[in-house]
Amino acid sequence: MSVRRWSHGVSAFTLAAAILGLGIAAPASASAPTRHAVRYVWRNVAVGGGGFAPAIVFSPAERGLAYLRTDMGGAYRWSASRHEWIPLEDGIAQSSYFGIESIAADPVDPEVVYLAAGMYPNQPAAIFRSHDRGNTWQIFPTPFRMGGNMPGRGVGERLAIDPNDRSILYFGTRYDGLQRSLDGGRTWSRMDSFAWRGTGWRDSPRMQTGISFVVIDPQGGRPSGPSRRIYVGLTLPGAQHLFYSEDAGRTWNAVPGQPAPDLLPVQAGLDAHGTLYVTYSNGTGPNGITEGAVYRFDTQTGRWTNITPGADGLRVSGGYMGLAVDAGRPGTLLVASVDRWHPGDVLWRSTDGGRTWRNLRARSRRDVSATPFLLWGHAQADFGWWITGVAIDPFDPEHAAYSTGATVYATHDLLSRAPGRALLWKPWVRGVEQTAVLTLVSPPKGPHLLSGFGDLSGFVHERLRRSPTEQFTHPVFANTDTIDDAALSPNIVVRGGTRAPRSAPGAPTLAYSLDYGRSWRPLRPPAPASAIVVSADGRSFIAMSRLPEVTRDRGRTWRPAIGLPAGAHPLADRVLAQTFYALDFERAQLFVSSDGGATFHTRATRGLPADLEADQPHSPERQWPLIATPGRRGDLWLVSHQGLFHSANGGRTFARVSSRVRVSALGFGMAAPAHRYPTLYALGRVARMYAVWRSEDRGRTWRRINDARHVYGQRFRCIAGDPRVFGRVYVGTDGRGILYGEPAVH
């Protein structure tokens, strides 16, 4: 099996990897229609966390070393010296490798760490191995597939290093049985002696979780020889779900007397006395779990004991998943519920092997001042949901952490017994930006950036390096799909999206602001709509209902936009206060309004592509292909699968801009020195390289502005230039939050 190396620096194998299909794109060739690259510095716009991190993995070999796996944003390493999480995959171009199925930190050598990376079963998967804590990687593509962003991603860990012979690794797959490597992850073979061999991802149910965990008992083995005893959890239907081997995997048997045949083992941990703890649920989550239990198994006597917590009155619908065993204190463990929506999920602690439990939710408080969005417009932050990742620092029993669907919480006083003292949890996410960004706007005045997120509503970013205090609330959306500002009155902003979970039926999905997005008022057009635009002067709002509706009195009254076909998406001219444009993709026609959107008529055009049906977005999360240029009346751009088209006369004529960069998203920023026309920024492709580009001459030539160290899985979604800072560009990603780039100062 081939091996591929990657590092934070520019790799010598980049071109070869692209040819081989790894997805790491080579720099543009000399024949590409680009000028020399511009050196940029890239940083994250700080939000902090924001997405689901299924597991926290402490290194058992070094104090202060930990890893975090996310479902769509790659892996991170905690830097105790910098007090932040370091992203470990920003130079990786293969999108699928940002879904992390499992992490294994070497139990002896703190420099060695492994990742199991693969987001979906129809995409590539690989084992990553590093000898420098993830600064550089060897990548071993695997014949078996993974599901780092699939249901069941909170189980585990599936990847395990044999502590007695660290060249041996085991990996419990979703579709291909139990796999073993004898050469440090380089090559793998299925252990046909194991009870379940799998059928491959093509013939298995797509939502299958397969093997949930591999736990190796270091006792009974000897240094330089394999460990003898191994436990494996299986989540397929059947009476037997837990299996063990006493001979290093040569033979396997079902653990005798195992309980709960209707429940599935999802996580397990072994303490220093050889006691195995297992959490069970009637599903693998993270949603849909309604029942569960926790059991203790004495590996010496073979006795099972039901130790399910919840006798304090909070044991209601939901299951159990998150589990952590204190490495230095046998019998001390943490267990978390999952999908316990009312009154909410709970974290319990036991110091006597589960005989008694202490409800940590009941005695905790959260300080989220570092990431205020966790308040969601309320006075207090929620304890959390989807609590699948629970961990206790093996070097510091006071330090524990748990992950939720939106953040990671940590405490440093877990052992506190002071009467009446609340257990303090704080977000442990500095440096983690694991979100999907759907839309970006950089206004000419006010805050430099407004953002629309998946799941998190959206934000006003007053300071780019600090988590914003102004989340889009009142109303809160789940997704903010569109944001539009009035070009001549940029304090007026509108947004559209989807209802927040558990919001009331009929909750508004449109809103407007008169103070640059810092506060909002709901809009309720006659028909449902999730997108909205505003005229250049801020007086007209057009809601994208099936038949677009116009209001000129802030939503008190609405009227249909006359003359537009169903499903049309108007666009405001950025200078002419009364002018809107709209495309009919089916007929390849341009519509224009000169009365604030009240009526539209077709405009005769030349140069518009005859076939536009393939350009019509079928998701509100996609950028609309017709775009108006700031500061230029009648200046339009069309981002088409047939190329990039420009009109300088209100759409009467379009000209195709000749370039081999296949642009998929376009933004505008401050004009370059000695130029008057705005700088263009684009997400686009040259051959297999999907990159970030800049043009100072209206798209005739382009410079690539991200390099081989800043590829981010090529998971770029939206782009906006800053109209007040030349060279600054904002890029929204699918999994790595918002990035902003600026030319390096020489």
Domain boundaries, the chain: 437-743
CA 432 from chain centre, in angstroms, equals: 10
Distance CA(462)–CA(612), nearest Å, equals 39
Q: Report how far apart the first and last C-alpha atoms of the chain are (Å, whole number).
A: 43
Residue 21 has pLDDT above 50, yes or no: no
For residue 508, cis peptide bond before it (omega within 30 degrees of 0): no
Distance CA(565)–CA(547), nearest Å, equals 7
pLDDT band at 36 (very low <50, low <70, confident <90, very high): low
Neighbours of 176 (CB within 10 A): 24
Mean pLDDT for 432-444 is: 97
The 10s digit of each residue's pLDDT in 366-425 is 999 999 999 988 899 999 999 999 999 999 999 999 999 999 999 999 997 777 789 999
Mean pLDDT for 634-661 is: 96
pLDDT band at 12 (very low <50, low <70, confident <90, very high): very low
CA dist list (Å): 453 to 459, 472, 497: 8, 10, 10
Q: What string of DSSP letters covers 633-661?
A: TT-EEEEETTEEEEESSTTSB-EEEP-SS
Give the residue among 267, 280, 403 at the shortest CA–CA distance from 323: 267
CA dist list (Å): 653 to 243, 493, 606: 70, 30, 5
The 10s digit of each residue's pLDDT in 52-94 is 999 999 999 999 999 999 999 999 999 999 999 999 999 999 9
Distance CA(721)–CA(460), nearest Å, equals 16
Instruction: Give, for 679, the enclosing helix (H) or strand (E).
Output: strand 679-686
The 10s digit of each residue's pLDDT in 490-531 is 999 999 999 988 788 889 999 999 999 999 999 999 999 989
Mean pLDDT for 447-468 is: 97
Mean pLDDT for 431-442 is: 98
Q: Are the CB atoms for 625 and 636 separated by under 8 Å?
A: no
CA dist list (Å): 259 to 133, 264, 309: 39, 10, 16
Mean pLDDT for 680-697 is: 96
Residue 744 has pLDDT above 90, yes or no: yes
| Annotated active-site residue in 176, 217, 393, 455 | 455
Mean pLDDT for 189-203 is: 95
Mean pLDDT for 671-682 is: 97
Give the residue among 139, 231, 146, 224 at the shortest CA–CA distance from 185: 139
Q: What is the pLDDT of residue 14?
A: 30
| φ, ψ at 375 (rounded to 5°) | -75, -30
Distance CA(186)–CA(89), nearest Å, equals 19
Neighbours of 429 (CB within 10 A): 29
Return the amino acid letter for 555. G
Neighbours of 567 (CB within 10 A): 14
Q: Are the CB atoms for 417 and 399 separated by under 8 Å?
A: no
pLDDT band at 283 (very low <50, low <70, confident <90, very high): very high
CA dist list (Å): 150 to 73, 118, 264: 14, 10, 17
Joined together, the tokens standing for residue 557 give: 């009254």
CA 685 from chain centre, in angstroms, equals: 22
Mean pLDDT for 583-592 is: 94
The 10s digit of each residue's pLDDT in 135-164 is 999 999 999 999 999 999 999 999 999 999
Mean pLDDT for 593-619 is: 94
Q: Which of the 8 DSSP states describes residue 166?
A: T
Q: CA 621, 622, 626 angle in degrees (round to 5)?
A: 135
| φ, ψ at 712 (rounded to 5°) | 55, 35
Q: What is the pLDDT of residue 578?
A: 97
Give the residue among 663, 677, 647, 669 at the shortest CA–CA distance from 726: 669
Neighbours of 689 (CB within 10 A): 21
pLDDT, mean over the chain: 92
pLDDT band at 96 (very low <50, low <70, confident <90, very high): very high
Return the amino acid letter for 529. A
CATH number of 437-743: 2.130.10.10
CA dist list (Å): 515 to 453, 457, 481: 20, 17, 20
pTM of the model: 0.94
Distance CA(631)–CA(536), nearest Å, equals 10
Give the rounded percent of residues in the chain with a pLDDT score beyond 90. Answer: 86
Half-sphere exposure (Cβ direction) of 438: Cα atoms closer than 13 Å: 25
Distance CA(385)–CA(322), nearest Å, equals 11
Tokens 């934070």 belong to residue: 8
Q: CA 283, 267, 371 angle in degrees (round to 5)?
A: 90
Whether 455 is catalytic: yes
Least confidently predicted of 10-14, 200-204, 519-523? 10-14
Half-sphere exposure (Cβ direction) of 542: Cα atoms closer than 13 Å: 31
Q: What is the pLDDT of residue 224?
A: 73
